């Protein structure tokens, strides 16, 4: 085990696959790390381990600091109550508070220096919204919990590709109005800083996609690329950031192109997520940049249709835990 502090892993949606992924991740990592503590319901995890035939001993800990001593022999759990017993695949709003509370606890522990980073299992946004959750997803909630005016930026990171959507959870028709030169510069700046601090890249290279086909074709296919995106690229370059664009998005993601940059800034959600989920669906990790703590998450949803069956792959959660540990280690090294 190499981590001095454990990672804080949230329960996610109790009816989803998060619980079984947590159990499988412990099986894969308990002999080598990174160490993590699950903020979850211990009875739920024990029942799930039994139903799936997973040999995962559960130990309830009263403090996250106990996790490193426990982890090699049992999954350490900070036990949290559920509103009602969870049934795999069956959503119940009475458990929304437990899912939200686990996220808040993970952030609180990490900001206090008790845990090294936050790793979140997938949540079911519609269920949380139905219970009064006011945020579009994890990213915005984490920024509120940070409480320091942080500007959160979503990155999807895999072994072969890192992508950053400049706009995220908004309708496609709203993207052109939401894109501004200032916003693109801010996202590019935060991305470059994170690539240096958290990924250990001394001189990160950014490729920046256009919005329209062929990056607007000189204005023939849309004005935003020349009027909004090109000035942002120029501003980033003026700050000393290696930024190239706007580029036609349809030629940015083949194998040869990917060797020429460290992260691709994309103008909207699917422009970023389609290529990375095609190239590395099971290995991609959702990383929130721009926060005062490290946060990662699997790049998939709650998978209610297979919850409780044991069919879900823990690969993305394992990658999330490993990346969070590496990022937190680099932050410690750089102060």
Which of 74-78, 99-103, 215-219 has the weakest average pLDDT?
215-219
Query: Residue 91: pLDDT band by 50, 70, 90 thresholds?
Result: very high
The CATH number fitting domain 1-150, selected from 2.40.50.250, 3.40.718.10, 3.90.550.10, 3.40.50.360: 3.40.718.10
Predicted TM-score of the model (pTM): 0.93
For the stretch 124-156, pLDDT in tens is 989 988 888 888 778 888 989 998 788 999 999
Q: Cα dist. 187→211, 224, 244, 245, 269 in Å?
A: 15, 17, 14, 14, 14
What strand order describes the sheet that includes 36-40? 58-60, 75-79, 36-40, 7-10, 118-119, 295-298, 285-289, 153-157, 162-165, 263-266, 205-209, 242-247
For the stretch 234-288, pLDDT in tens is 999 999 999 999 999 999 999 999 999 999 999 999 999 999 999 988 889 999 9
Contacts of 109 (CB under 8 A, 6+ apart): 8, 64, 115
For the stretch 21-30, pLDDT in tens is 999 999 999 9
Q: Cα dist. 279→60, 118, 299, 311, 314 in Å?
A: 38, 25, 12, 21, 17
- Amino acid 335: pLDDT: 62
Decide if pLDDT at 2 tops 60: no
- Main-chain dihedrals φ then ψ at residue 221, nearest 5 degrees: -115, 20
For the stretch 222-235, pLDDT in tens is 999 999 999 999 99
Consecutive H or E run containing 74: none
Decide if pLDDT at 174 tops 50: yes
Distance between CA atoms of 146 and 123, rounded to whole angstroms?
19
Dihedral, CA of residue 65, residue 70, residue 71 and residue 75, to nearest 10: -100
For the stretch 289-332, pLDDT in tens is 999 999 999 988 999 999 999 999 999 999 999 999 999 999 98
Q: Where in the chain is the domain with CATH 3.40.718.10?
A: 1-150, 153-290
Distance between CA atoms of 124 and 100, rounded to whole angstroms?
11
Is there a contact between 301 and 313 (Cβ–Cβ < 8 Å)?
no
Is there a contact between 13 and 123 (Cβ–Cβ < 8 Å)?
yes
Average pLDDT for the chain: 95
Is there a contact between 232 and 184 (Cβ–Cβ < 8 Å)?
yes
Distance between CA atoms of 74 and 23, rounded to whole angstroms?
10
Average pLDDT over residues 45-62: 98
Q: Class assignment of domain 153-290?
A: alpha beta
Q: Are strands 58-60 and 75-79 parallel, antiparallel or unpaired?
A: parallel
Average pLDDT over residues 181-188: 98
In terms of Cβ atoms closer than 10 Å to its own Cβ (0-12, 13-18, 19+), residue 129 is: middle
Spatial CA neighbour of 58 closest among 69, 68, 71, 66: 71
Distance between CA atoms of 110 and 295, rounded to whole angstroms?
10
């Amino acid at each position: 085990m190499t981590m001095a502090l454990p990672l804080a892993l949230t329960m996610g949606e109790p009816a989803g696959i998060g619980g079984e992924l947590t159990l499988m991740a412990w099986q894969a990592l308990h002999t080598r790390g990174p160490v993590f503590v699950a903020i979850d319901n211990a009875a739920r995890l024990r029942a799930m381990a039994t139903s799936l035939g997973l040999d995962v001993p559960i130990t309830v800990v009263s403090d996250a600091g106990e996790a490193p001593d426990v982890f090699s022999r049992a999954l350490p759990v900070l036990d949290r109550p559920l509103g009602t017993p969870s049934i795999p695949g069956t959503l119940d709003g009475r458990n929304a508070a437990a899912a939200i509370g686990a996220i808040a606890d993970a952030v609180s522990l990490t900001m206090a220096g008790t845990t090294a980073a936050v790793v979140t299992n997938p949540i079911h946004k519609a269920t949380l919204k139905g219970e009064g959750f006011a945020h579009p997803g994890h990213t915005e909630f984490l920024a509120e919990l940070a409480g320091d005016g942080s500007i959160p930026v979503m990155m999807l990171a895999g072994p072969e590709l890192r992508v950053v959507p400049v706009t995220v959870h908004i309708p496609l028709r709203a993207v052109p109005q939401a894109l501004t030169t200032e916003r693109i510069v801010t996202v590019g700046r935060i991305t470059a800083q994170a690539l240096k601090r958290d990924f250990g890249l001394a001189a990160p290279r950014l490729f920046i996609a256009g919005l329209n086909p062929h990056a607007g074709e000189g204005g023939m296919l849309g004005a935003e690329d020349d009027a909004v995106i090109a000035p942002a690229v120029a501003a980033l370059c003026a700050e000393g950031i290696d930024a190239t664009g706007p580029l036609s998005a349809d030629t940015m993601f083949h194998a040869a192109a990917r060797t020429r940059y460290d992260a691709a800034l994309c103008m909207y959600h699917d422009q970023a997520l389609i290529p990375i989920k095609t190239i590395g669906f099971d290995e991609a990790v959702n990383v929130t940049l721009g926060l005062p703590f490290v946060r990662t998450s699997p790049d998939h949803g709650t998978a209610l249709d297979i919850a409780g069956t044991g069919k879900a792959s823990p690969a993305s959660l394992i990658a999330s835990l490993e990346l969070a540990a590496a990022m937190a280690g680099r932050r410690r090294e750089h102060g």
